[in-house]
């Protein structure tokens, strides 16, 4: 019997949940230092090896670079405020990656890009949840 990976949790829900928790922590504890949306994207790049370990992806500089390519420009766009480019576009890209890449065996950079866009989209629902709860 062939072992089928559980891609829904590993590559979709784990990065999204991590992004939601990260922006809630940044909004609650670190908001006086920098905008939480930008700060959560920078921290996501710094802790990307942890995300890679959580999703059982080969960890290396190429994985972290993939996360950085998705998260750093998105974090900088959040400095200008919410727009199509930092709210809807990451969602469309993340959905497209989740549909088209889910059955492929990818190099670490592409997994990093996939997880990075999951993080980039999920900070918006995380910020909305934080605003509603606190």
User: CA angle, 85 as apex, 83 and 91 as ends, to 5°?
Assistant: 105
Q: Read off the tokens for 127.
A: 């910020």
pLDDT score of 8: 67
Question: What Cα–Cα distance (Å) separates residue 36 from each residue in 54, 65, 69, 131?
Answer: 23, 21, 19, 12
pLDDT in tens, the chain (134 residues): 445 555 667 888 889 999 999 999 999 998 888 899 999 999 999 999 888 888 888 778 899 999 999 999 999 999 998 888 888 999 999 999 988 888 788 888 999 999 999 999 999 999 999 999 98
pLDDT score of 53: 84
pLDDT score of 1: 40
pLDDT score of 12: 86
In whole angstroms, what is the distance from residue 122 CA to residue 117 CA?
A: 8
Q: Domain coordinates of the chain in residue numbers?
A: 7-133
User: CA angle, 129 as apex, 100 and 82 as ends, to 5°?
Assistant: 70
């Amino acid at each position: 019997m062939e072992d089928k990976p559980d891609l829904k949790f590993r590559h979709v829900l784990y990065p999204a949940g991590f992004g939601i928790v990260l922006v809630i922590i940044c909004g609650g504890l670190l908001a006086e230092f920098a905008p939480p949306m930008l700060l959560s994207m920078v921290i996501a790049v710094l802790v990307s090896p942890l995300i890679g370990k959580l999703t059982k992806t080969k960890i290396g500089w190429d994985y972290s670079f993939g996360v950085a390519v998705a998260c750093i420009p998105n974090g900088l766009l959040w400095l200008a405020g919410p727009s199509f480019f930092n709210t809807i576009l990451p969602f469309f890209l993340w959905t497209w990656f989740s549909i088209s890449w889910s059955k492929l065996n990818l190099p670490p950079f592409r997994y990093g890009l996939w997880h990075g866009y999951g993080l980039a989209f999920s900070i918006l629902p995380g910020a909305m949840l934080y605003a509603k709860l606190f």
